[in-house]
Chains A and B, each alone.
Chain A
Amino acid sequence: MERREFLQKSILVIVGASVPLSALTMIDPKKVFAENPDIQWAFLVDTNKCVGCGFCVKACKTENDVPFEANVSRTWVERYVYTKDDKRYVDSPKAAQDGFTESRIDLGRGEYQEIDKANVGKAFFVPKLCNHCSSPACTQVCPVGATYKTDDGVVLVDRTWCIGCGYCIMACPYGARFFHPIAKVADKCTFCYHRLSKGLDSACVNACPFKARRMGNIHDKNDPITQLIMNERVGVLKDEFGTKPQAFYIGLAQEVR
């Protein structure tokens, strides 16, 4: 064997040996996609359509066993009233679980503000819920790894692991978390993860008669909700916090935070 031939053959052997076995298996793209379906759940709220009936809150509390008596809720509806003499009022009595059946504003602590009919400038309702942020502040602060973001974009709380310290409740800029009075852990909207995985709409989306609440896979360009988010003038809440919320709002006003 000549020197040149020896070198050529040994290089070939080294190159052949360095190819890992896994590189030689054929990859079926369909199979790979089925194993890693690229789902990112996103929420779309059309504030123009909301009438403040609160059926969403009722359905959410029923579906997820959040007590009606306690003043906590995974989702809530806010009422914004602007008067002609330039005053602004916001309220959400009992998270609007019974809707808005009175024209007076609930100021909290049992105080109410009557607003003269003729003085109402503009008024509207805004449903709120967990924004399921891309960079959630709440999951960063958990000291025990009990709250986390799933690969399909939902922020969940591990009830067996949560110690109820309340850091996440303080960290959420949107006030979307609360202490569950029965489970004694931090609780929040799960996008009805149990319903999504069964192919159902979340309870609030299902209950809304006016289609003010909708949900879709933001990674699917053909999804009607993704189309709306891409084409409509949508906004997110508290963008400056850098949490990258995944709940988008049509018809946001500056006062809605």
Chain B
Amino acid sequence: MSGFFSDLINVISAAILLWQEGERVKSHVWRPLYVVIAFVVAIVVFRFFYVPNDFGSGKRGFMYSYHRFSNEAEWKNQPAKYSVSGRERMHEYCSECHGEIVKVRTEKLHGIIPCEDCHGPAMQHPDNPEKLTIDRSRGLCLRCHTNLPYATSERHRIPGIDPKTHNTGIECVKCHNPHNPSLEGMK
């Protein structure tokens, strides 16, 4: 704010000096300059009222972090949709109610897949939504189980099928149990 006032004082004092000088020199030479000065003053005054008070620079200085501070809280207060279903923490969160199925999952191959990847975001579940919309589509399984000939990639270790020839048009979950995907566990 002090910068703003010193700017304003500089501009005004320069204007007065020029005006005094202008008495001696022909005034039509200086008149366009008065217009420019009035324009600058108008912008500075507009800026004073328009820019919110909490604008400032953070630790990184003016170049990288000149911003409205209250925006940080705005981002922080966004509601989260996904809960904690990552590999370690899904046990504590999902198994509170679905202990049995979580146990089956964690012991079998698909134990590394977070529940919410297929079952959808569950931050407010079971209040909202009461029942999660489960993605049972073929496309979901094909994300990992399309056979791609990439011997150097980790993808190579996942059993894959050719989606164009392997029971086309049928959902995978009709035959395979997604919680226990071993072939002995087939429906």
Are A and B part of the same complex? yes
A210 interface hit (Cβ, 8 Å): yes
Distance of A197 Cα from B87 Cα, bound (Å): 21
Interface residues in B, total, Cβ within 8 A: 48
A-B contacts, CB under 8 A, total: 159
B136 interface hit (Cβ, 8 Å): no
Chain A nearest CB from B126 CB (Å) reads: 19
B71 with A158: CB separation less than 8 A: yes
| Residues of the B chain whose Cβ atoms lie less than 8 Å from the Cβ of A146 | 67
Which of A16-24, A118-126, A166-174, A218-226 sits within the interface? A118-126
Q: Is the interface of B mostly helix, strand, loop or mixed?
A: loop
Distance of A203 Cα from B153 Cα, bound (Å): 24
Neighbour of A51 across the interface among B65, B152, B155, CB < 8 A: B155
Interface residues in A, total, Cβ within 8 A: 57
| Residues of the A chain whose Cβ atoms lie less than 8 Å from the Cβ of B151 | 120, 122
Distance of A48 Cα from B155 Cα, bound (Å): 10
By beta carbon, the residue of chain B nearest A116 is B149
A101 with B163: CB separation less than 8 A: yes
By beta carbon, the residue of chain B nearest A119 is B149
A123 with B148: CB separation less than 8 A: yes
B79 interface hit (Cβ, 8 Å): yes
A201 with B112: CB separation less than 8 A: no
By beta carbon, the residue of chain B nearest A148 is B67
B81 with A98: CB separation less than 8 A: no
| Residues of the A chain whose Cβ atoms lie less than 8 Å from the Cβ of B48 | none
Chain B nearest CB from A190 CB (Å) reads: 6
By beta carbon, the residue of chain B nearest A36 is B59
Chain B nearest CB from A209 CB (Å) reads: 4
Contact of A148 with B163 at beta-carbon distance under 8 Å, contacts A103-B149, A209-B112 already known:
no
Contacts from A to B (Cβ < 8 Å):
48-55, 58-59, 62-63, 81, 98-103, 117, 120, 122-125, 135-136, 139-140, 145-151, 156, 158-161, 190, 192-195, 197-198, 200-201, 203, 205-207, 209-211
A-B contact pairs, 5 of them (CB 8 A): A151-B58, A156-B75, A160-B74, A161-B67, A207-B82
